[in-house]
Amino acid sequence: MAKYLLLKHYRGAPEAVNCVPMDQWTPEEVTAHVQFMRDFASRLEQTGEFVDAQALAPEGTYVRYDGEGRPPVTDGPFPETKDLIAGWMVIDVDSYERAVELAGELSAAPGAGGEPIHEWLELRPFLTEPPTVTE
């Protein structure tokens, strides 16, 4: 019973094996991909392991405090060096092995040519509530 975050990157993760930008796929391949993601989430709902999933727009902005009485500084969208998060899924599973298994399945989402993308997903455990017994 531990929660894990599956992070999908636009950029910042190692390159996928079947790395063709989505806009170069056929419409059917895009549909198949989207359907796979939906089916995956709904399957996890049925197993009682689904917590949350959200997609993020690729445009993000870095913001920083710039001192008393001044508006925050922004670096504008799209600096080329940033990591970009495409979205996340949160799962609640019985073991780390199960989390790895599910991340592996999600990484096999179909892409160009209907072949699995083999993209890298980042798997991060959530920090939990402190257990009742700590000493």
Partner 1 sequence: MDEVLLRSLTPGVLAVLVRRGADFAAAEDAVQDALVEALRAWPADPPHDPKGWLVTVAWRRFLDAARADAARRRREDAVSADPAVPAPGSGAAVDDTLQLYFLCAHPSLTPSSAVALTLRAVGGLTTRQIADAYLVPEATMAQRISRAKRTVAGVRFDRPGDVATVLRVLYLVFNEGYSGDVDLAVEAIRLTRQLAAAIDHPEVAGLLALMLLHHARRAARTNPDGGLVPLAEQDRGRWDTSAIAEGVDILQAALARDRLGEFQAQAAIAALHADAPTAEETDWVQIVEWYDELARLTDNPVVRLNRAVAVGEADGPRAGLAALAELDDSLPRYAAVAAYLHERDGDLATAARRYAEAARKASNLAERDHLTRQAARLNTRLNAGRSR
Total site size for partner 1, rule CB under 8 A: 22
Counting beta carbons within 10 angstroms of the beta carbon of residue 108, is it exposed (0 to 12), middle (13 to 18) or buried (19 or more)?
middle
Q: How far apart are CA 30 and CA 37, in angstroms?
A: 11
Minimum distance from residue 56 beta carbon to partner 1 (Å) = 20
Pick the piece of the chain touching partner 1 (CB under 8 A) from 14-22, 99-107, 114-122, 123-131: 123-131
DSSP lists the bridge partners of residue 77 as: 61
Give the whole-angstrom CA distance, residue 88 versus residue 78: 20
Site for partner 1 in 40-99 (CB under 8 A): 45-52, 92, 94
Residues at the contact surface with partner 1, assessed by CB under 8 A: 1, 3, 45-52, 92, 94, 125, 127-135
